[in-house]
Amino acid sequence: MIPVQGFEGKRVAVLGLGRSGLAAAHALEEGGAEALCWDDSEQGRLRAEGQGLLLHDLTKQGAFENVSALIVSPGIPHLYPAPHPVIALAWAAGVPVDNDIGLFFRSYATNDWNAFDRTPQVIAVTGSNGKSTTSALIHHILQASGRPSQLAGNIGRGVLDIEPAHDGEVIVLELSSYQTELARALTPDVAVWTNLSADHLDRHAGMGGYFNAKRRLFAEGGPERAVIGIDEIEGQFLANQTATAAGEDRVISVSVERKLTSNGWSVFAKKGFLAEWRKGRQVASIDLRGIAGLPGAHNHQNACSAYAACRAVGIGPRQIEAALHTFAGLPHRSQTVAEHCGIRFVNDSKATNVDSAAKALQAFQKVRWICGGLQKEGGLNALLPHLGNVKKAYVIGREAENFARQLSCDTAVCGSMQEAVSQALADAQEGDVVLLAPAAASFDQYDSFEARGDDFVDCVNRVIAE
């Protein structure tokens, strides 16, 4: 655990008692503060009480008397579509609002570091799609290369629940827009921007707010190195704003759409080959085509971003190449779960928006596509140009008929996952890929995208066994 610094002997309120909130409360107390905990749900409050934490009703008048700060969990809205009532009370009382990410960056470095031979570093990864795979891949490369590393944030453990730094360690953080938007301290050594596409627009009041929430990772503290995907205009803008001179190597530009050969530092993938260029010449190349854990152009983008981040902390190209070949991928992200009679079954339940589903569809030929769920704002029009590889779509979800009507390919309305998998297998031929890439949230039928992916895996195993 990382003891929180700066609140010794003070009262600090914690709103939201999920994984990050509970970790924040314990870390505050470990650092000498008094944590005053509250959750809107009785279940959350009981969980906190069971861990010995002090409950304090933050909804009551006067709840913020002698309170030094309010720490808010990521899922709680603090601006759009409307601030949570407790946050409004904190504002009225003049109490600063922060989150566990802000606490981490103010508390991670300690006097113990003076005795280290090599200063610990933090790599923070954000973006719309691929940030989990990119973060896990960076962590995997570091460990395979002999560098101590911990993985935390929006993946793995809460940021305050990790162990204090070791000599030369690299902490890899996956950070969502919910986490970067509110944190008062954001000072990674290396910041990574994968890409940007429409998502969480209600929470950020549109694309501008969404972009600015993620941009704070690069603007608040100023990382020593910035790895920035420039295949969208937002990334191009960010790279230009981050660089201080033409041709400098503070920014490492990443692309999977074009060759980057300027005088700066760049990493790009073209026709399945990753290339690193510096000062106008190629310095390394890796063939990505045979790496089973990283199929498709979207995973090649993840590989480029992870490669660049690891190069920024001193890992050599050959070490990175060896580690890429041993990366198994993450569950629910282009995960091959079975092969049967020449038919491959791929679980990409994390493809919860149109952009990520489009990238999954482009990664495979002859696709039997399982899709549908709680549709997000913007509709499916942006997905239609990417259905060329789809032999047939099998639509699930409570609004399956409406979802199917928006598609321009052959469709079957299935409703349930079991029916979709059964029909897809019955129709499939050798060489086909049965792909779950929903292009929608899971909450109409499942508690999470993980639960949806697990159901897909279970259904595949049952159908194959019949």
Host H or E run for residue 255: strand 251-255
Question: Within 13 Å and on the Cβ side, how many CA atoms surround 30?
Answer: 16
Determine if residue 422 is labeled as part of a ligand binding site. Answer: no
What is the dihedral sign for C-alpha 103, 104, 106, 110?
positive
Q: What is the DSSP string of 155-216?
A: SSB-GGGSPPPPTT-EEEEE--HHHHHH-S----SEEEE----S-SHHHHTSHHHHHHHHHH
Determine if residue 299 is labeled as part of a ligand binding site. Answer: no
Given the structure tokens 């490492």, which residue do they identify?
Answer: 252
Round to whole Å and give the CA distance between 133 and 195. 13
263: left (phi over 0), alpha (psi -120 to 50) or beta: alpha
Closest by CA to 378, choosing from 213, 200, 229, is 200
Determine if residue 168 is labeled as part of a ligand binding site. Answer: no
Round to whole Å and give the CA distance between 352 and 199. 9
Which of 239-253 are b and which e, b meaning 16 or more Cβ less than 10 Å from the residue's Cβ?
A: beebbeeeeeebbbb
- Please report, to the nearest 10 degrees, the dihedral formed by the alpha carbons of residues 206, 211, 213, 217 taken in order: 180
**Strand order through the sheet with 97-98:** 54-55, 34-38, 11-15, 67-72, 97-98
Round to whole Å and give the CA distance between 108 and 164. 7
Residue 158, Cβ density class (10 Å: 0-12 exposed, 13-18 middle, ≥19 buried): buried
Closest by CA to 100, choosing from 125, 71, 132, is 71
Round to whole Å and give the CA distance between 213 and 217. 8
Determine if residue 350 is labeled as part of a ligand binding site. Answer: no
Given the structure tokens 């530009």, which residue do they identify?
Answer: 253
Strand pairing category for 273-278 and 281-287: antiparallel
Determine if residue 130 is labeled as part of a ligand binding site. Answer: yes
Closest by CA to 359, choosing from 350, 351, 349, 368, is 351
Backbone φ, ψ for residue 15 (5° rounding): -110, 120
Round to whole Å and give the CA distance between 280 and 261. 6
Binding residues: 127-133
Binding residues for ATP: 127-133
